[in-house]
Amino acid sequence: MNESQDSNDSSTSNPNDIRQQEAEHQGAAVKAALGANIGVAIAKLAAAFFTGSSAMLSESVHSIADCSNEIVLMAGGRFSKHKTDGDHPFGLYRAKYLASFVVATLLFFVGGFFSTSEAVKKLFAIAEDSALRDVNQMELLVAFIVVFISACLEGYGLHQSIKEANERMERTGVAHMGVFRFWRRTKSAELASVIMEDTLALIGLAFAGAGIGLAILFDNEIFDAFGGLMVGLVLIAGSLLLMFKSGSLLIGEAVDSDTRKKIEQAVISTPGVERLLNMQTVHMSEDDILLCVKVQTSKLDRDYDVETVNKIERSVRTALPWFRFEIYVEPDLYRADHKIVS
């Protein structure tokens, strides 16, 4: 039996207010990251052209990839809101996950491969011609200043991402768990991608700054080339991590353990439910959940079961009003081989 997720439920505790808060914050981190990365990319490109720094060139590619990432994520978010003509019965929500997967497999990996290959070319060139080791310290000093300013901007972007993650946890009643654990557990493709981008950007800038600084200190261009190489390797490593995360979301992840417990409690506490026999959940998007439940009711009566099913749907939506549920409930009898499958 099914009750549409759009049905009017007067017993739900202000779900529209909570969903409105979600909508107001949705994509804020992506927009903040895009704005910061456009400025950073322009500054890095100018510095790379002016100084010829390998680390600066790698960082320029990194920032251009980041800008492309945010544009793809925003496009995926817009497409996911389109109404379906019936060919996609559960909507187009997973377009966000597909966009995140494209970001991981194409833009990040290609950007990392390009940066790595350019740095390797420069290392081989220096090995063949020792004259290329000579450093123009004034030019590299300009590059170092750009790296420092970029780190400040990227740090602001990461701060905004963490702020949105904390606000998300507060609005949904989840205890703060730290950025790394949140990244692993979040079902938001955009937030996972932006947090990864900003973290990688700061790590990459640390390697670029170290390479440029050592090149100035020791008057040897090879350190700058090594800095560029490390930036490229960081991008490739990040693409693999994000590929794993977005791929898992695209295939279909269940709700986290805290949310699952709340759903189970809402079902079990519903009047007329004797036993929860089975429950399966799949995130269609961060806020859209497909819920399939099998329960044993107090009476083997069709009309009673219909009423109990409606109560279950209301209980679940009341307990977790920040989610949109597509709920399917099947009354059944308990058997010894029944298990609540996680």
pLDDT tens digits, one per residue of 79-92: 777 777 767 777 77
Contact in structure between 276 and 267 (CB atoms under 8 Å): yes
Of 161, 184, 188, 189, which is closest to residue 99 (Cα–Cα)? 189
Report the pLDDT value the prediction gives residue 311, as an integer from 0 to 100: 92
Topology (CATH level 3) of domain 7-251: Alpha-lytic protease prodomain-like (1.20.1510)
pLDDT per residue as tens digits for the range 325-336: 999 998 888 776
**How far is Cα 215 from Cα 203, in angstroms, rounded to an integer?**
18
Residue 11: count other Cβ atoms within 10 Å of its Cβ. Answer: 9
pLDDT higher than 60, residue 158: yes
pLDDT, position 262: 93
Segment 118-138 mean pLDDT:
82
Residue range 12-35: mean pLDDT, rounded:
57
Question: What pLDDT was estimated at residue 189?
Answer: 80
What pLDDT does residue 169 have?
A: 76
257-331: CATH number: 3.30.70.1350
pLDDT of residue 9: 41
The mean pLDDT value of the chain amounts to: 80
CB 65 within 8 A of CB 111: yes
For residue 12, pLDDT beyond 70: no
Average pLDDT over residues 195-208: 88
> Residue 313's pLDDT band (boundaries 50, 70, 90)?
very high
Bigger pLDDT: 208 vs 189: 208
Would you kindly state where each structural domain of the chain is located, as residue ranges? 7-251, 257-331
